[in-house]
Amino acid sequence: MLEALVGRHYIRFCLAGAVFFIGFASAEFLLHKGGLPIATGIYSALLAALVGLGKLATP
Amino acid sequence: MRVVLYGVAYSAAYILPAAALWGTLSVILEPLEQVHLLMPLIASIYALGFGVIETLSLPFRTPSLAWQVPEQWLQGRSEVAQAIIWGITLGPGWITVNPYAGIWLLPLLTTLGRNLLMAVVVTGIAGAIHGGARAIGVLRNSGQVGGSCSHLLILGQQLSWRRRDGLILLLVAGTLAAYLLTILQGQN
């Protein structure tokens, strides 16, 4: 099942792994530069903007 | 000029309640900050799980409330009153239908390593960004609805936004995994 899943989405699977690794590697910079509050602040702003913009239902 | 002013006022109706409610949420969740290992662990598992689900477009529903603004709330009200009702209900992004898992990571991120004042400010800003972005999305899409393929267009766009949301979740999951390792190394 995993093979079928990865086989179908292998580019996205590799992309997912690469992004996770970038997050892991950037922690060295983010966590030492300003600590966890800076990192979570940046991520909160990113997620909030993305979720807000992505909700496309019109009232 | 009138269109710009309308856009600013409409956005304010979303931004202000969102900032206030998100800021209040960070105060309510403040006691969870004391749980040093558990909150980042829950946040990283959530981010990793839903990051994979959304990036690979797996058929798994995002946790969401299905409530929608009742029609009676809007009928017979002025345009300003309607904008305020939409702003209060949609701006914070908690109670209406939500197709993205990223929103539920925000309360978890609130609990990680901040003092109360900073948590209120950062979470309030995140809420304001969500409210503003939501208003922009609504204003932008109000021009698209009514076209022959508008719903298909919206669904297609939603899928690609889900993938973007999944990628950011994975980015956060990577950072939180490194943070957890740092904590565990410090304990040993």
**ipTM of the complex model:** 0.84
Neighbours of A10 (CB within 10 A): 10
Residue holding tokens 């209406």?
A: B96
pTM of the model: 0.86
Task: Flag whether residue B177 sits within 8 Å of chain A, measured between CB atoms.
Answer: yes
* Average pLDDT estimate for A29-51: 82
* Average pLDDT estimate for B120-139: 89
Q: Judge contact between B166 and A21, C-beta under 8 A.
A: no
Task: Flag whether residue B134 sits within 8 Å of chain A, measured between CB atoms.
Answer: yes
Q: For residues B31 and B35, give the distance between their C-alpha atoms in angstroms, rounded to a whole number.
A: 8
Say if the Cβ atoms of B126 and A45 lie within 8 Å: yes
Comparing CA positions, the residue from B171, B93, B96 lying closest to residue B126 is B93
Smallest CA–CA distance from B181 into chain A, residue: A24
Average pLDDT value over all residues in chain B: 85
Say if the Cβ atoms of B133 and A52 lie within 8 Å: yes
Residues 3-62 (B) with a CB less than 8 A from some CB of A: 48, 51-52, 55-58
* Average pLDDT estimate for A3-18: 79
Among candidates A16, A19, A48 on the partner chain, residue whose Cβ is nearest the Cβ of B130: A48
Residue B44 has pLDDT above 90, yes or no: yes
Phi first, then psi, for residue B138 (nearest 5°) are -65, -45
Among candidates A16, A25, A50 on the partner chain, residue whose Cβ is nearest the Cβ of B165: A50
What pLDDT does A29 receive?
Answer: 77
Q: For residues B185 and B167, give the distance between their C-alpha atoms in angstroms, rounded to a whole number.
A: 27
Q: For residues B55 and B158, give the distance between their C-alpha atoms in angstroms, rounded to a whole number.
A: 12
Percent of chain B with pLDDT over 70: 93
Q: For residues B105 and B29, give the distance between their C-alpha atoms in angstroms, rounded to a whole number.
A: 13
Comparing CA positions, the residue from A16, A55, A30 lying closest to residue B109 is A30
pLDDT digit string, tens, across residues B9-18? 888 999 999 9
- Chain-centroid distance, C-alpha B93: 6
pLDDT digit string, tens, across residues B157-181? 788 889 999 999 999 999 999 988 8
Collect all residues with Cβ–Cβ distance below 8 Å to B178 and sequence separation of at least 6.
A23, A24, A25, A27, A28, A31
What the block records as the tokens of A54 is 């992505």
pLDDT band of A58, cuts 50, 70, 90: very low
Residue A25 has pLDDT above 60, yes or no: yes
